[in-house]
Amino acid sequence: MHARHLPARLPRRRLLTSLGSVPLAAGLVAAAGQESRAEPRAQKTPTPARRIGVSTYSYWHFRTAIVPVEQCIDTAAETGFDGVEILEVQLGDDRSNRRVQQIKRQAFRQGLTLCGLSTHQGFLSPDRDDRRQNIDKTCRSIELAAELGIPTMRVNTGRWGTSKSFDELMANKGIEPRLPGHTDDEAFGWVEEAFEACLPTAERHGVVLGLENHWGLGRTAEGVLRIVEAIDSPWLAVTLDTGNFLERREEQLEKLAPHAVLVQAKTYTGGGEWYTLEIDYDRIADLLARHRYRGWISLEFEGRADPAVAVPESLAMLRRAFAKAG
């Protein structure tokens, strides 16, 4: 080797420093290699804030002139809700495309999602023509939900109609006699047949029907599940109402929670319009979290207090409860 190819000599201090760093660098490389071969650390996914909407029913309980949906949307935005569930009857007679699109635009401009539609229909009748009329009505409501951009619609089984009034039905805790000469088994057949007739429309428009625990054959979790499981369609699930179980509440909520696509959260500030329940929403939030429910919570204020005060208070309570549950 010729001298001109020899590397320049390093000063003693730099040489020692350079040699001393070799084991350290090697150790860092080895450690990096071991870490890359180790199991990856589990990353905790942040739980998104629970989306809480309000039913337009919270501002109107059938006792006075209808409070328009447009007014409810503005009030909901001012209060700080994330969405609005529309009670269909509050739309009144004008269901024109022009008005429907204006409502969609208004909600969008207010930063709100139209998260649900609640209709009134019923299939609990021995009269085939009556059931056919209610099937047609339900299909029109499904089309309305789609026009509004709403992904789920609350439906009911209907009632026997043997109570003199809704007030009487509530005084009897939702229990009423069957029509003479008919059985529950027969009635479940009517209801299941009717829902099956509605499902093609629901699927075509992408609207999930949510059968609510709401009197009639749906008064109990067992009744709701009998229908949902018999039909066994992804387009029929459950709208879970926290206030419509007057006994065995948590047990029945537990049964329906795995099937829920919307939760309606009742509150009763000032005493309820028909009855008053003490509902522990910390427990409800924990129950829903156990079942990994990630959908909307829709406040249904059913108290006699001024909604201008009671609805914001209910929203704050629900925010606290669901934030703790994660």
Over residues 170-228, the pLDDT tens digits come to: 888 889 999 999 999 999 999 999 999 999 999 999 999 999 999 999 999 999 999 99
- Residue predicted with more confidence, 34 or 322: 322
121 pLDDT more than 90: yes
Q: How confident is the model at residue 50 (pLDDT cuts 50, 70, 90)?
A: confident
The pLDDT assigned to 324 comes to: 87
Contacts of 267 (CB under 8 A, 6+ apart): 279, 299, 300, 301, 302, 303, 310, 314, 317
The pLDDT assigned to 104 comes to: 98
Of 139, 138, 170, nearest to 157 (Cα)?
138
Residue 191 belongs to a domain: yes
Q: How confident is the model at residue 110 (pLDDT cuts 50, 70, 90)?
A: very high
- Residues 130 and 158: beta-carbon distance below 8 Å: no
Residue 31 belongs to a domain: no
Residue 14 belongs to a domain: no
Residue 113 belongs to a domain: yes
What mean pLDDT is predicted for residues 130-155? 98
What is the distance between the terminal CA atoms of the chain, rounded to a whole angstrom? 73
Residue 25 belongs to a domain: no
Q: At what angle do helices 281-290 and 249-256 cross, to 10 degrees?
A: 30
Alpha-carbon distance of 110 to 46, in angstroms, equals 26
The pLDDT assigned to 173 comes to: 86
Residue 116 belongs to a domain: yes
For the chain, give the mean pLDDT: 88
Alpha-carbon distance of 147 to 205, in angstroms, equals 9
* CATH number of 198's domain: 3.20.20.150
The pLDDT assigned to 172 comes to: 86
CB atoms within 10 A of CB 253: 23
CB atoms within 10 A of CB 185: 7
Q: How confident is the model at residue 73 (pLDDT cuts 50, 70, 90)?
A: very high
Alpha-carbon distance of 115 to 76, in angstroms, equals 13
The pLDDT assigned to 13 comes to: 39
For 104, counting Cβ atoms within 10 Å of its Cβ (0-12 exposed, 13-18 middle, 19+ buried), the class is middle
Residue 6 belongs to a domain: no
Q: How confident is the model at residue 27 (pLDDT cuts 50, 70, 90)?
A: very low
30 pLDDT more than 80: no
Alpha-carbon distance of 326 to 324, in angstroms, equals 5
Residue 295 belongs to a domain: yes
90 pLDDT more than 50: yes
- The tally of domains found in the chain comes to 1
Domain holding 178, by residue range, is 52-325
